[in-house]
Structure 1
Amino acid sequence: MSEPITSGAASMAGWKLLGGAAGASAIGAGLASVVVMCVTTPRSPKEWAVGLISTVVGSIGGGAAVIQHYGLQSWAQEPMGLVAMLGLVFTCGLPAWALVRWLFNFIERRKSQDLAEVAAALRKELNK
Structure 2
Amino acid sequence: MEPVSTSSFGLTALLKFYGAAIMVTLAVALVAAVVLMTRMPRSPQEWAVGLICTVVSSLAGGSFIIVKFALHSWVTDIWGMITLGGFFFVCGLPGWAVVRWTFNFINKQEGKTIIEVVKDLKASKDELTK
Would the TM-score normalized by the shorter structure come out above 0.5? yes
| Aligned-partner residue type, residue 52 of structure 1 | L
Return 5+ residue gaps in structure 1 as ranges.
1-10
Distance 1:80 1:34 in 2: 23
Shift in Å at residue 23 of structure 1? Answer: 3.0
Provide the secondary structure at the position in 1 that maps to 2:121: helix
How far apart in 1 are the matches of 2:107 and 2:40? 18
TM (norm. structure 1) is 0.81
> In structure 2, how many angstroms separate the alpha carbons of the residues matched to 1:117 and 1:58?
31
Computing the radius of gyration from Cα coordinates, the structure with the larger value is 2
RMSD, matched Cα? 2.0
State the partner residue of 1:8: none
Aligned to 2:113: 114
> Paired residue for 2:92?
93
- Moved >4 Å (runs of 4+): 11-15
Instruction: Tell me the TM-score normalized by structure 2.
Output: 0.79
8 Å CA contact 2:16–2:75 kept in 1: the answer is no
Report what 1:80 is aligned to. 79
Paired residue total: 117
Identical aligned residues as a percent? 41
Q: Is the 8 A contact 1:54 1:97 kept in 2?
A: yes
Aligned-pair CA distance for 1:124? 1.8
For residues 92-125 of structure 1, what are the alpha-carbon distances to aligned partners after superposition, in whole Å with 9 as ceiling and x for unaligned?
A: 1001111111111111111111222222212221
Q: CA deviation at 1:12?
A: 7.6
Specify the alignment match of 2:8 in structure 1.
none
